[in-house]
């Protein structure tokens, strides 16, 4: 039994709710409905950003993301400047995942009528702060009233000088690797939401590091460009929904499987400390927690060590080899322990899925 | 006295609410905060669309608009297909107002968790229907849960082969003209919201015409391209907030004033019939009602008749000469009757302004 108007009568046609289809099913429906290939669209729906050809030889990347109060953030734990930062950063991350150069942003912002104008200024200040290192220009937007809570819709346009790296280019035998460390954003959120008594057990410096990772994620823009310039790097995407879910996207788009050594997934010492203090499962955070905005790549096995060393030298960011792409027939990635035993691991955060179905 | 947290204590600093600044003031603040001119940004915040140069000689137009339930539409009077149509059409209209060719759309859609997936499909079907005549490709997007009501954030990218027409190019002596007829969308909304007894007085064919204008506005894409190809046409924008407000934008951006003959503002017979049946002021609808998505242009007086005849011949759409651009010093357009007497006429719908301040 469900709510009022959406419940079919007895014998009526069964209706499909978003909770049943999930975001993936929805994207598939939208992609199918978007129609045939269109001229000068190299890559449409289904990757981190669209790849367009506005002029011969010029590649334009375009991506859009919604950031919604009560869904993606709470005002209690994120300031207006944090919201502005994050609304831009999640889009910069999509451009980074293609190996592109972010250039221009358009911002749609809806806020409740009584909102303090200074808070709107702070939102834009946070956005400028996130965009400044990349020279992002806010070139347009729309502002209007919201009935309930903030809504930020940011579109970022970028350029690409080489070959954008897609989710669909992973092949059996490639090594799976991730930048930085995983689970920091989820750790930060858990620290912010912890009961005061429990939260007090987290050292202050640890809490600062992790809450910053949650509120002000840093898109791996330089890393994405460097990686996309390596012929050995084939597939790339950003980790917004968690390693399990996002590697699943790569597998589906590439028609391959993947096997990940859970013990090799990079987790920072701060994240471990927070998990211990809060009595939570750090591996669950690292594998199923979202919003880390690290990069996930599939690259040639023989070149992996060289690429990792090169990325570290060029950007200061580590690249950790965590697994391998396997043959087709395994739709979702498998996580194994050091003895090769498969671990039961649920998917990361997927919108529309009831919370009860989440793994971790 | 206002609500809780946003009210300053006695002696505290006075806070500015969005209702006091209005959308215009907000755009000004955002524009100032967006920083200095950036390379390859021809026109940034403040016009209908941004004008970018992704490659030498190639002009890219970009615009984004939010369409929010309870603010821009009600589910009771707009179907999901209508919402999809309108969310795209308002962006096509922005591209049309620059004289551009719309090409690609990115769609951010948030809907409540219990939403029927078929309704989401219908949203995209309505969007496809609005975009099909223009060959629009939906190339990307984001779908997520909304806590309360639908939110659609659509970005449209377009191209321009000549010189985009800006709001800032109106000069004293130019003639002010509008395409089509005004007030139809407001008339349609009033018909939809009328008490049944009152609404029954509106002939069915009239109601159909006007409610369609409200639910499924048609962007003047071909008209915008034709007009932008005329050297006599200098400034152009689309009428989304009503003639009084939008002509005010042109005046402010161009540093000029404007005088409009209210009796020359084109109003359809259906709109007049609905106003009579509902006992409302048709001139108020035409001048202060928004969402008509007709084009407003400032053009050379000596060429105006020729341009109007040419547009009619090329597209079937009339262009009506309604007034003239005057010298600086008059910040808002003046509406006069046939004897030249100024009419008291309030501004159109501006977001964040308390309803009590609306004119009409």
Structure tokens at A344: 């039961």
pLDDT higher than threshold 90 for residue B194: yes
- Flag if A137 and B35 touch (Cβ within 8 Å): yes
pLDDT higher than threshold 60 for residue A348: no
Nearest CB partner across the interface for B137, out of A38, A69, A153 = A38
Pair B134, B221: CB distance under 8 Å? yes
Rounded CA-CA distance B281/B275 in Å is 6
Contacts of A58 in chain B (CB under 8 A): 54-55, 58
Nearest CB partner across the interface for A18, out of B6, B103, B117 = B117
pLDDT-derived band at A45, boundaries 50, 70, 90: confident
| Residue that is last in its domain, among B101, B127, B160 | B160
Is the same domain home to A260 and A179?
yes
| Residue that is last in its domain, among B160, B189, B217 | B160
Q: What is the pLDDT of residues A29-44, one digit of tens each?
A: 666 555 445 667 777 7
Structure tokens at A277: 């203090």
Percentage of residues of chain B with pLDDT beyond 70: 84
- Residue reference for tokens 């998505």: B293
What's the gap between Cα A309 and its chain centre? Answer: 24
Within the 77-136 window of chain A, which residues sit less than 8 Å (CB to CB) from chain B?
103-104, 106-111, 113-118, 120-121, 124-125, 128, 135
State the average pLDDT over residues B168-183.
Answer: 97
Is the same domain home to A132 and A37?
no
Q: Which residues pair with B111 in a beta bridge?
A: B145
Is the same domain home to B186 and B126?
no
How many domains are contained in chain B?
A: 2
What would you measure as the largest C-alpha separation in chain B, in angstroms? 65
- Flag if A26 and B117 touch (Cβ within 8 Å): yes
Rounded CA-CA distance A226/A244 in Å is 24
Is the same domain home to A116 and A261?
no
Nearest CB partner across the interface for A137, out of B44, B107, B155 = B44
pLDDT higher than threshold 60 for residue A310: yes
A74 reaches B (C-beta below 8 A): no
pLDDT higher than threshold 80 for residue A273: yes
Contacts of B32 (CB under 8 A, 6+ apart): none
- Flag if B138 and A114 touch (Cβ within 8 Å): no
Is the same domain home to A128 and A196?
no
Residue B11 lies in a domain: no
CATH number of domain containing B287: 3.90.650.10
> In chain B, which residue's Cα lies nearest the Cα of A2?
B114
What's the gap between Cα A313 and its chain centre? Answer: 25
Structure tokens at A123: 């939102």
B53 reaches A (C-beta below 8 A): no
Q: What is the pLDDT of residues A81-101, one digit of tens each?
A: 999 999 999 999 999 999 999
Q: By C-alpha distance, which of A165, A59, A69, A151 is closest to A103?
A: A59
From A269's Cα to the closest Cα of chain B, the distance in A is 32
Residue B20 lies in a domain: no
Q: What is the pLDDT of residues A157-171, one digit of tens each?
A: 999 988 888 889 999
CATH number of domain containing B65: 3.30.1330.10
Is the same domain home to A226 and A172?
yes
pLDDT higher than threshold 60 for residue A2: no
pLDDT higher than threshold 80 for residue A113: yes
Mean pLDDT, chain A, as a whole number? 86
Q: What is the pLDDT of residues B112-135, one digit of tens each?
A: 989 999 999 999 999 999 999 999
What is the Rg, in whole angstroms, of the alpha carbon atoms belonging to chain A? 21
Is the same domain home to B155 and B202?
no
Q: Which residues pair with B321 in a beta bridge?
A: B177
Residue B87 lies in a domain: yes
| Residue that is last in its domain, among A111, A132, A160 | A160
Buried b (16+ CB within 10 A) or exposed e, A338-348: eeeeeeebebb
Is the same domain home to B220 and B283?
yes
A19 reaches B (C-beta below 8 A): yes
pLDDT for position A53: 87
Name which of B142, B147, B159, B352 to mutate to probe chain A: the one with the most chain A Cβ atoms within 10 A of its Cβ.
B142
Q: What is the pLDDT of residues B74-100, one digit of tens each?
A: 999 999 999 999 999 999 999 999 999
Residue B247 lies in a domain: yes
Rounded CA-CA distance B164/B228 in Å is 7
pLDDT higher than threshold 90 for residue B29: no
pLDDT-derived band at A19, boundaries 50, 70, 90: low
Residue B31 lies in a domain: no
A64 reaches B (C-beta below 8 A): yes
pLDDT higher than threshold 50 for residue B304: yes
Is the same domain home to A286 and A211?
yes
Rounded CA-CA distance A182/A179 in Å is 9
Nearest CB partner across the interface for B118, out of A16, A146, A147 = A16
Q: Residue A183 sits in which domain range? A: 167-357
pLDDT for position A215: 95
Nearest CB partner across the interface for A45, out of B113, B118, B138 = B138
Mean pLDDT, chain B, as a whole number? 86
From A227's Cα to the closest Cα of chain B, the distance in A is 23
ipTM: 0.85
Residue B5 lies in a domain: no
Is the same domain home to A267 and A236?
yes
Structure tokens at A233: 């790097």
Rounded CA-CA distance B47/B53 in Å is 16
Nearest CB partner across the interface for A66, out of B23, B144, B159 = B144
Q: What is the helix (H) or strand (E) element at residue B61, kind and residue range? A: strand B58-68
- Flag if A116 and B62 touch (Cβ within 8 Å): no
Name which of A28, A33, A43, A153 to mutate to probe chain B: the one with the most chain B Cβ atoms within 10 A of its Cβ.
A153
**Ramachandran angles phi, psi of B143, nearest 5°:** -130, 135
pLDDT for position A356: 34
From A163's Cα to the closest Cα of chain B, the distance in A is 17
| Helix boundaries (H) for A148-292 | 184-193, 196-199, 204-215, 221-228, 243-254, 269-278, 282-288
Pair A153, A107: CB distance under 8 Å? yes
Q: By C-alpha distance, which of B350, B212, B186 is closest to B278?
A: B186
Contacts of A157 in chain B (CB under 8 A): 52, 54, 60, 62, 157
Residue A103 lies in a domain: yes
Nearest CB partner across the interface for B41, out of A71, A104, A151 = A104
Is the same domain home to A149 and A262?
no
Pair B250, B167: CB distance under 8 Å? yes
pLDDT for position A43: 78
pLDDT higher than threshold 80 for residue B71: yes
Pair B217, B290: CB distance under 8 Å? no
Is the same domain home to B262 and B128?
no
Residue B21 lies in a domain: no
Q: What is the pLDDT of residues B222-241, one digit of tens each?
A: 999 999 999 999 999 999 99
Find the range with the poorest average confidence among A27-41, A180-194, B151-165.
A27-41
Q: By C-alpha distance, which of B49, B251, B93, B241 is closest to B169?
A: B251
pLDDT for position B18: 63
Residues in chain B, total? 360
């Amino acid at each position: 039994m469900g709510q009022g108007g959406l419940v079919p009568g007895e014998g009526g046609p069964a209706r499909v709710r978003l909770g049943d289809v999930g975001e993936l099913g929805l994207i598939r429906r939208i992609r199918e409905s978007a129609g045939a290939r269109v001229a000068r669209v190299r890559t449409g729906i289904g990757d981190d950003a669209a790849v367009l050809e506005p002029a011969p030889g010029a590649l334009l990347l375009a991506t859009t993301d919604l950031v919604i109060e009560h869904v993606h953030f709470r005002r209690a734990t994120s300031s207006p400047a944090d919201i502005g930062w994050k609304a831009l950063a999640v889009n910069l991350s999509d451009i980074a995942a293609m190996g592109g150069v972010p250039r221009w942003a358009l911002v749609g912002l809806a806020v409740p009528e009584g909102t303090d104008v200074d808070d709107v200024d702070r939102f834009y200040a946070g956005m400028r702060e996130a965009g400044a290192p990349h020279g992002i220009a806010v070139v347009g937007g729309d502002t209007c009233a919201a009935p309930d809570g903030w809504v930020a819709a940011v579109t970022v346009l970028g350029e690409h000088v080489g070959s954008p790296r897609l989710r669909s280019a992973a092949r059996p035998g490639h090594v799976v690797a991730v930048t930085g460390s995983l689970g920091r954003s989820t750790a930060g959120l858990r620290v912010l939401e912890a009961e005061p008594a429990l939260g007090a057990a987290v050292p202050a410096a640890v809490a600062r590091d992790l809450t910053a990772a949650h509120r002000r994620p840093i898109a791996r823009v330089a890393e994405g460009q460097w990686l996309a310039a390596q012929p050995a790097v084939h597939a790339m995407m950003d980790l917004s929904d968690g390693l399990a879910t996002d590697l699943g996207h790569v597998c589906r788009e590439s028609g391959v499987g993947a096997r990940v050594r859970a013990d090799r997934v990079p987790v920072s010492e701060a994240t471990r400390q927070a998990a211990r203090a809060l009595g939570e499962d750090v591996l669950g955070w690292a594998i199923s927690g979202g919003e880390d905005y690290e990069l996930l790549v599939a690259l040639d096995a023989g070149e992996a060590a060289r690429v990792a060393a090169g990325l570290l030298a060029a950007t200061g960011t580590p690249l950790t080899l965590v697994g391998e792409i396997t043959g087709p027939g395994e739709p979702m990635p498998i996580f194994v322990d050091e003895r090769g035993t498969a671990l039961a691991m649920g998917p990361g955060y997927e919108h529309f899925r009831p919370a009860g179905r989440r793994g971790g």
